[in-house]
Structures are given as C-alpha cells and as structure tokens.
Structure 1
C-alpha cells in the first residue's frame, strides 16, 4: 500500500531578537523596497529604459497583436479598495501633484514593477508590467471622440455616489489602442471607496487581467498611504 500522506508545510516563527515591530515578511518587504530604490536610483530613468528595451519591444508586440486579434473588443475587471482617514478629494489632489511634479520616485515606489512614469512629446507615458510583459504605453485620448466609450461603459457607477471619475485610453507610441481605464471615487463616512477598472483586448489571457487587478491593489494602496503621510 502506497503512503500518499503529504508532509505538513514548514513554518518558521520569530520568537525574539529585533526590537522593532513587524513580522519576518515585513522585514523582507522593507529590505526589498530599499534595494529596489537603490537600483532605480543608480540606473536612472534612461538606464532602466535601456536595460528593458528588448523586454519592452516584446511586451508591446504582445499588446499590439492582442489588440489586432480582438478587433476593438475589450474585457473588463475591477479592483475595489476601501480607504479610511482620507477623503477622495485629498487623495486625488495628492495624485495630481505627484504626476505634475518632477519627482518620479514617489510614483515608481508604489509598485516593484513600475519602471518609468512621466510626460514626453506624445503624452503621459507609463512603463510597467502588464501581466508578465514589460510594456511602454501612453494614457489619454487618441483620435476624435476617443473617450466616448466611458459614457456607455457597463462599469460606470452613479454620479451621486461616485462623483469623481477619470477615464483613459491606453495606447502605444504608434497609436494602437491596447486598453482602457476607468477609475471612480466616492466618499464614505470615514474615507472613500475606489473602483478601479481596467480593460484589455478580449484575446488577452485571463491571468493578464487578473494580475493587473492585483497590480491596481498594490499601487493604489501605496499611493493612498503616501497621500495620507503627506497630509500629516
């Protein structure tokens, strides 16, 4: 008779030593963020873009082919976050200042897979992971009535509850629309709710969409925390 019993998972518990609060996972996250910030700073913006040039070419080719095969059809997913201790107006004012400022570090720090965020001759450029792919894309409109889709989006929430809304196309340097974003904010008695919807071509694997919903959760959580710290 074959023994099919599996071994219990190995666990490690911190009993004593460090005087600061936190778990081993917290310590590791702190050191990972510190190391990442060091590499970003040493390489600089152009150094990072040069390092990732081949990855970006491959990632953009994936998005371009997905858009071509999907013929303008998109699928959506939404991450919902609840924040306490900060209003949506305070958060969005901080976001406006962060994106308008010269310090890219605060934007990059929100996610390990942020590589560049800023404005160039085409518009607001973002270099980050879309699923496993490193991609370089722009946010904003493209062409006449480019944002008309947002008014008819199934994910659009009532204006009375979510009065602060922003919509955007995601497009490549050659103008190919490879996605969309619709983010909506509504205040609550102790903070606000953020509904963060992303749209990708329907031929994109579902895991690409799911990973971006996780991406949203990480980056917006960290931006909200940074905005609250700036209020203190």
Structure 2
C-alpha cells in the first residue's frame, strides 16, 4: 500500500519507526474486524479513506442505541473483567506511542482534542479508528465504547478529564501541553487512564500518547493498543492539520 498524504506522520511503536502506510494497513484490517463485530457487511474494496467513511456511515445509520444493543454482551463481560483486574492491583501497564507530525502546533492540536472530547458530536471520534463504536458526554466525563488493544471484547468506560488523581504516568515538563484523565468503569471505579502530551518541533509537533491499563491486563493486549493509538491520533492530526476535521 502506498498512500499519498498531505501531512507527514511517523510513529514510534515499541522502539520501531513505523511509516503512515503501515498504520493505514492496520486500519484497513480493523475495518473488516469492526464490521464483523457489529454484524454488518464489511465496506467494499477501495482506499482506506473510502472504506473508513463507509464504516462511519454504517455506524451513524445504525445509531448509538442499536450499536450499544449489539455490543451489550461484550460490554458486560469487559466491565466485569476490568473491575476485577483493577481490584487486584493499583499498579498499571502502559501503552505508549510517539507520533511526529510535520504540520500544525502542539497547542492547536491539544485544544482541538479537548474540544472534540467534550463535544456531544461523535463523528470525529467515530471516524478516527474502526474500533470506535460510540462516544458521548455525560456528567462524569467522556463516554467511550470501543475495542481496546487486542481484546476480543468491546468495552464501555468513562474518561474524566477533570481528574488525574490515580494516574501513574508522570507529566513530562518537556511537553507543555497535555490532555489527561482517569478512566472509570460503568460503576465509577478507576480502571486506568490516559496522559497524552504534546510539544512543538521545528516543523510541526511531537505527541507522546499514553494509556494506562490494570496491571493484570495481558502484555500482548497492551502492546496491541499501540496500533490503536497510532491509528486514531494519526487520523485526528491529519484531519486537523489539513482542515478536514468535523
């Protein structure tokens, strides 16, 4: 696969330089997996961009209530597992990816992401990754329904961007902009969190993206989530720096 992109984005995944094409190939495979999980036909042949938009339309046409109904059993089991794992230990495993983007600024992207996460419009969130199924905003924070990492289950959780009390990832002073918050299960128990940090470079910005999982989470699942992070943030940065974000 060789895609011509308007913005250069290079990922560091597990200490390996990963070009945009490789992340797009991962996304293309996950489009099929997400369609199967929803019980809908996979988008037809075409570019990743075309298939991404077709899957987005399918999710929007189904509507949040139907999507949640189809994934309800997944969510029940995933919630039980996450709460059990979190009770076993306060320690965490972290999934970390670095992205270097050849356009835009750290402040602009961080501000856009905060606004998008706090918005009731799910389109930008759903478009970013095939494994995103529903997003909303409630009293306790951002409501997320997605498949994380290499999990066979879709999970539903909350991200409270007003609380960083249980995060184990320390803020790096070299990154002046960040978006961070505690992830909670459906009953409010802390089960992880995020600390995404951003700084300017000579031609764009550098994003250090971190998701915390309960320590008992399988290392293979945590490692697999790095591709999820690379996919969603590459799509978001590409959209925001080219003016295509909605």
Same fold at TM > 0.5: yes
2:126 to 92, 101, 108: 108
Q: Deviations over 1:150-208 (max 9, x none)?
A: 5x74x532x2x211123211111212211121111110110110011111111110011
Structure 1 residues 169 and 97, CA gap change in structure 2 (3 angstroms)? closer
1:228 lines up with 2:245 in the alignment: no
Structure 1 residues 120 and 86, CA gap change in structure 2 (3 angstroms)? same
Q: Deviations over 1:61-118 (max 9, x none)?
A: 221121122x211122311000111101121232233234343111110000101111
Aligned to 1:156: 171
Q: Which moved more, 1:175-184 or 1:26-35?
A: 26-35
Aligned to 1:10: none
Structure with bigger gyration radius: 1
The 3-state SS of whatever aligns with 1:109 is helix
Conserved 8 A contact 1:122-1:173: no
2-structure distance, mates of 1:30, 1:134: 23
Structure 1 residues 177 and 58, CA gap change in structure 2 (3 angstroms)? same
2-structure distance, mates of 1:91, 1:65: 35
Aligned to 2:156: 136
2-structure distance, mates of 1:21, 1:108: 23
Conserved 8 A contact 2:161-2:180: no
Conserved 8 A contact 1:125-1:136: yes
Conserved 8 A contact 2:176-2:198: yes
Structure 1 residues 210 and 32, CA gap change in structure 2 (3 angstroms)? same
2-structure distance, mates of 1:220, 1:141: 17
Which aligned segments of 4 or more residues in structure 1 are displaced greater than 4 angstroms?
20-23
Unaligned runs of 5+ in 1: 1-12, 14-19
Aligned to 1:127: 145
Aligned to 1:99: 117
1:54 lines up with 2:73 in the alignment: yes
Q: Give the length in aligned residue pairs.
A: 206
TM-score using structure 1 length: 0.79
The 3-state SS of whatever aligns with 1:200 is strand
Aligned to 2:200: 187
Unaligned runs of 5+ in 2: 6-20, 29-45
Measure how far apart 1:212 and its partner are: 1.5
2-structure distance, mates of 1:190, 1:52: 42
Measure how far apart 1:36 and its partner are: 0.8
Aligned to 2:225: 212
2-structure distance, mates of 1:121, 1:149: 19
TM-score using structure 2 length: 0.75
Measure how far apart 1:231 and its partner are: 7.6
Aligned to 1:32: 51
